[in-house]
Structure 1
Amino acid sequence: MDATVVLHQSVGGIQLCGCDSSSGSVKILGNSSLRSISKCFADDTGFFRRGYCNFKPYRLHITRASTPHTSWADQAAISTSPNTTNNTRRTPGEAALILIRHGESLWNEKNLFTGCVDVPLTKKGVDEAIEAGKRISNIPVDVIYTSSLIRAQMTAMLAMTQHSRKKVPIIIHKESEQAEAWTQIYSEDTKKQSIPVITSWQLNERMYGELQGLNKQETAERYGKEKVHEWRRSFDIPPPSGESLEMCSERAVAYFREHVEPHLQLGKHVMVAAHGNSLRSIIMYLDKLTTQEVISLELSTGIPLLYIYKDGTFMKRGSPVGPTEAGVYAYTNNLARYRQELDEIVH
């Protein structure tokens, strides 16, 4: 029995629409039974790979007899059209990117190597996150990306409590079909007043291996200051059983390019809350830093950095000092219009 017959029986219907190789796509509706089928064919025949048939490019549309529910996460976070959840007009390819290193954590306070250990913020870290939110309170945010670690997620959530739009950041759970189904939002008005938060381990702090949980000063005394400095500040030398900055950069930048950058290209405004080394890696990519320049780059906890994406280029604008900083809103037409709308709402 060929692949088309199996698909017809299990899914309900299949349409193959010709398209050029640059725009081939897969649109799947009601994929509960498709998952098991695609697993059978994807590796052996490549039938689903990038929406192409083995013989020539196709756009593949698969539908079920019944009309399924499309999740808010799919609509808001992975849509191929500009976000329409607020009234701000957009110019594709012109958007704001906010990067925030998490506030002080409990292990930062204790001077311990933290890495990928999931440690929450201190009281000071909470205050830093709230202050960061005040700095970006009048800069639009359509989608938020954080690492999978609680200190980055706390920072993003606390920062958004200060935002002038008062939209609610909601973490998207897609770890299972049940988690996705149970967290659906069924009010369109509520969706419009919400911001999707996508978490990803690829944005985690670099994994410090056998140093995690050790006191930094005691570790320097045990192994020597030069060796510990080499582990912490070299680009390609990892700590024992851990990641180098180069290894961290490979995963963080690849994720940024695949998931975050497409939003910016569509004119969506993005905030990324992450960690010293994952953000250092992304900044290396944005600013085209050398391996020597990036190892000397220091990022303060809880201080947002603003970039403007325009015409395929990232322009660094430093850290906003607060909602009254007029210069921030002169960077793009989008931000100028956004600030004007806010003023009209207030007055």
Structure 2
Amino acid sequence: MSDRILVLVRHGQSEWNLKNLFTGWRDPALTEQGVMEAKRAGVRLKAEGLVFDAAFTSALTRAQNTCALILNEMGQGALEPVKNQALNERDYGDLSGLNKDDARGKWGEAQVHLWRRSYDVPPPGGESLRDTVARTLPYYVQEILPSVLRGNRTLVTAHGNSLRALIMVLEKHTPESILKRELATGSPIIYRLNADSTVEQKLDLAA
């Protein structure tokens, strides 16, 4: 088997996840549970025998703190991650900071569902999943994938929708099927890649 290893982890639970708020590019901290989820991810990855050579994360605190907590649990606190807003969560625009139930009351269940679960319809002032893919995938292709293909065991801590953009390519999802791909907070997915960047093996460490 190859050493071309890519690990994706959605950040641990944030304060706004707990409050059922649209978060997007807003920057709430991790909850106590989120901190525990990140630490547990580090314990699990260490148990798999992994040692990382490179790490990437978003420009948002919840992803950066998740990355730091994972690396500390693995005894790799000195590894400095590359931070880039290309890995940020989908921008929810005018929905950011709103309770999801309140948003349904304002715009209606059907409209909010369309914004959340369609591939290419953005909320007012925000991004669709297609927009997020268009932002995230070039960064993956130009920066993250070359690291993995060089044999660097690479950790990416980011967000539900920015990680969906990567998973869409790795797992060969369609615009329809990727919408159903759920990602638990703080749960690592380990991919071992072939030399042509396709997936040789996948291990999901979801709780």
Instruction: Give yes or no for TM over 0.5.
Output: yes
The answer as to whether partners of 1:102 and 1:273 remain within 8 angstroms in 2 is: yes
The 3-state SS of whatever aligns with 1:272 is strand
The answer for the alignment partner of 2:137 in structure 1 is: 253
**Per-residue CA distance 1:19-49 (angstroms, 9 max, x = gap):** xxxxxxxxxxxxxxxxxxxxxxxxxxxxxxx
Separation in 2, partners of 1:291, 1:143: 29
**Per-residue CA distance 1:179-224 (angstroms, 9 max, x = gap):** xxxxxxxxxxxxxxx3231000000001000000100011112211
Separation in 1, partners of 2:23, 2:15: 9
- Are 2:63 and 1:147 aligned? no
Separation in 1, partners of 2:140, 2:195: 18
Structure 1 gaps, min length 5: 1-90, 169-193, 323-347
The answer for the alignment partner of 1:334 in structure 2 is: none
**Per-residue CA distance 1:250-295 (angstroms, 9 max, x = gap):** 1111100000011111111100000000001110011111000001
Separation in 1, partners of 2:107, 2:125: 15
- Are 2:12 and 1:127 aligned? no
The 3-state SS of whatever aligns with 2:98 is coil
The answer as to whether partners of 1:96 and 1:306 remain within 8 angstroms in 2 is: yes
The 3-state SS of whatever aligns with 1:135 is helix
- Are 2:197 and 1:319 aligned? no
Percentage identity across aligned positions? Answer: 41
Task: For residue 310 of structure 1, report the CA deviation from its aligned partner.
Answer: 2.1
Task: For residue 320 of structure 1, report the CA deviation from its aligned partner.
Answer: 3.6
The answer as to whether partners of 2:4 and 2:193 remain within 8 angstroms in 1 is: yes
The answer as to whether partners of 1:135 and 1:321 remain within 8 angstroms in 2 is: no
The answer as to whether partners of 2:184 and 2:206 remain within 8 angstroms in 1 is: no
The answer as to whether partners of 1:94 and 1:310 remain within 8 angstroms in 2 is: no
- Give the counterpart letter for 1:314 in structure 2: V
**Per-residue CA distance 1:274-332 (angstroms, 9 max, x = gap):** 0000001110011111000001111000100010012222234232479xxxxxxxxxx
Distance 1:144 1:245, change over 3 A: same
The answer as to whether partners of 1:304 and 1:319 remain within 8 angstroms in 2 is: yes
The answer as to whether partners of 2:28 and 2:61 remain within 8 angstroms in 1 is: yes
Higher relative contact order (CA 8 A, sep 6+): 2
Separation in 2, partners of 1:140, 1:288: 27
The 3-state SS of whatever aligns with 1:308 is strand
- Could you tell me the TM-score, scaled by structure 2's length? 0.94
- Could you tell me the TM-score, scaled by structure 1's length? 0.57
Distance 1:246 1:134, change over 3 A: same
- Are 2:147 and 1:263 aligned? yes
**Per-residue CA distance 1:111-164 (angstroms, 9 max, x = gap):** 11000001110001001001111110121211110000000001011111221x
Number of matched pairs: 204
Separation in 2, partners of 1:139, 1:167: 11
Pair member with larger Rg: 1
Separation in 2, partners of 1:258, 1:304: 23
The answer for the alignment partner of 2:173 in structure 1 is: 289
Separation in 1, partners of 2:115, 2:15: 22
Separation in 2, partners of 1:245, 1:112: 18
